[in-house]
Amino acid sequence: MKKFAFTFSAALLLLSAAAAQTASGPAPAPPAPVANAVAQNSAFGLLKLPLSSEPSTQKAQQLLEQMVQALGGEAYLNMQDMEQTGRTYSFYHGESTGTGVLYRRLWKWPGKERMELTKQRDWYIIYNGENGYDVTFRGTAALEDAALADYLRRREHSLAVVLRIWLHSPGVVTLFVGEALAERRQTEQVSLLTAQNDSVSIYIDSDSHLPRRVSFIWRDDKTRDRTEEAEGYDNYRPVQGVLTPLSITRYRDGDIVNQRFITDTKYNQNLPDSLFAAAVTWDPKHPASAKRK
């Protein structure tokens, strides 16, 4: 298997050096020809990324542009909300824990999501900004801290946030790492690193240019244990001009923890904010506090 000019370790060293340079002060001025090119092409492509003189960054930007084009271009980037239905499965130690649950997922940019579970949709979870709510027949409770932190961490490393926020944030370094296998496909890995040493990797199909996997690593604040989270995408189909994965698999340290099989997707439905509004009405630790809805 061919590799790019430097290994993943070398890429991380370059990423760290670039991030440190950003934190300590402005980067040196580029050579005149590149400076002129930047002046003439201050934002190119659908992602409107600045032209770079670094070959690895140029390669990464090219791959990201191809990926966005493959996903639907403007139709993908202009997606403001989504409604999905399907069945979700949970796993423990790689084994399915049941026959799956029907769900409806409502998503609205930025930072709003509603996950309705069971056929009757009598249990749902709402995420709005930095808050999370667990809604059942008992009432609305604040989502447990660990569950909310897990969701927010995954949201901040999601493809939508990386493309819409990370790429345009000061101090973010983007590099092409090399070829890799992901979801049983030959892919090309692009990694991004922030000035705060947070990173995410996108694995882009070498043939279709569609994203096959997004992964990131985090450490527990107390134990310092290292955990790798990843989300894999398969079975793409066009929906309203957007290539949509109908199979999504979530991993933790290589083990499957969740799978979703999507049966229907709709984009830009003008979902009202009221669908994502919630207020705490009871505390599970004090059941007597429950109020009738």
- What pLDDT band is residue 43 in, cutting at 50, 70 and 90? low
Tens-digit pLDDT profile for residues 48-98: 888 888 999 999 999 999 999 999 999 999 999 999 999 999 887 767 777
pTM, entire model: 0.82
Residue by residue, DSSP assigns the chain as ----SS-HHHHHHHHHHHHHHHHHSPPPPPPHHHHHHHHH-SSBTTTTBPP-S-HHHHHHHHHHHHHHHHHTTHHHHT--EEEEEEEEEEEETTEE-SS-EEEEEEEETTTEEEEEESTT--EEEEEETTEEEEEETTEEEEPPHHHHHHHHHHHHTSHHHHHHTGGGSTT-EEEEEEEEEETTEEEEEEEEE-TTS-EEEEEEETTT--EEEEEEEEE-TTT--EEEEEEEEEEEEEETTEEEEEEEEEEETTEEEEEEEEEEEEE-----GGGG------BTTBGGG----
